[in-house]
Structures are given as C-alpha cells and as structure tokens.
Copies of this chain bind each other. A is one copy, B any other.
Amino acid sequence: MTVQQPRTGVTLADFDTIMREKVPFVGDMGVVTEQLSADQARLRLPFNQRHIRPGNVICGPAIFALADIALYAVAWLVVPKADLAVTTEATVHFLSGAKPGDLLADAKILKAGKRLLIAECHIRSAVDGALCAHVIGTYAMPPEPR
C-alpha cells in the first residue's frame, strides 16, 4: 500500500523544525516526527525520567503535550501555513497508566472543514503497545490568505 503524501508537502524534517522553533515548550521535550501522510501523523515522545508521576507512570500533562502537537501536525497536512491554527478545545481520556518508555501518538483527521479541523489521537506505549490515552480536539484554521 502506498502512503499518500501530505498535499501541503510538509516533511518530517519541516515539522521537527516547526516544533523546535515555534513551540519550544514541546520542542524541548524532544518529540520526533516519525510519519506524515495525507491525513495522519505519528510522533514519538522519548522517555524522560522527569515525566514520571506517582504510580511510576508518565504524567498527564506530558501525554497531553504530545497529543496536542500531534493534532497540530495534522493541521499542517491540510493548510500550507498552519502557524496560526489554534486548538479551540480538546478532550483527553486516560485509559491506562503509561509505563516508563517512549510514547507514540497517532493523530488522524476526522473532519477537515474550511474553518475547523477535528482530529483524534491515540497514545500508545512504545514498550508494549498498550493504549494509554485518547484525545479528540478541534483546531480553528487560519483564515485563507487573499
């Protein structure tokens, strides 16, 4: 099966740069862009001992940060200059404790309207594949340039 390329032409290296330069709070976490297709993105959060919380699991805010940037990535799949796309809302469900280890975020577009993009993201442990969290959220797309 051929994976369809992003129609905006954004590459893995482009989005790694976007994270580092435009969203340093997330860039500093060392998130890596692993896959980008027409409507999906996979990002990886490398394990960091400082992300641990009681119960020896990765804390919710680190998981949310990964999901939010993965949703931002899919906005870049459909709009050429998505800098100003902003999350308007997001709902996260934590399904199982995320064991120490890398996390993978798989974000997928559910609806790409002119004004709103709705996407969901599954967060899994790269250690054992367990589904740790589900996030669904909305991005308000930047007005089209004239």
A interface residues with partner B (beta carbon < 8 Å)? 22-26, 28, 50-55, 59-62, 64-65, 68-69, 83-84, 86-97, 110-111, 115-116, 118, 120, 131, 134, 136, 138, 140
Contact B59 A23 (CB under 8 A): yes
Known contacts A89-B91, A110-B134, A140-B116; A26/B59 CB under 8 A: yes
Which B residues lie within 8 Å of A134 (CB)? 110, 120, 136
Contact B87 A94 (CB under 8 A): yes
Contact A23 B53 (CB under 8 A): yes
Contact A87 B60 (CB under 8 A): yes
Which B residues lie within 8 Å of A65 (CB)? 61, 64-65
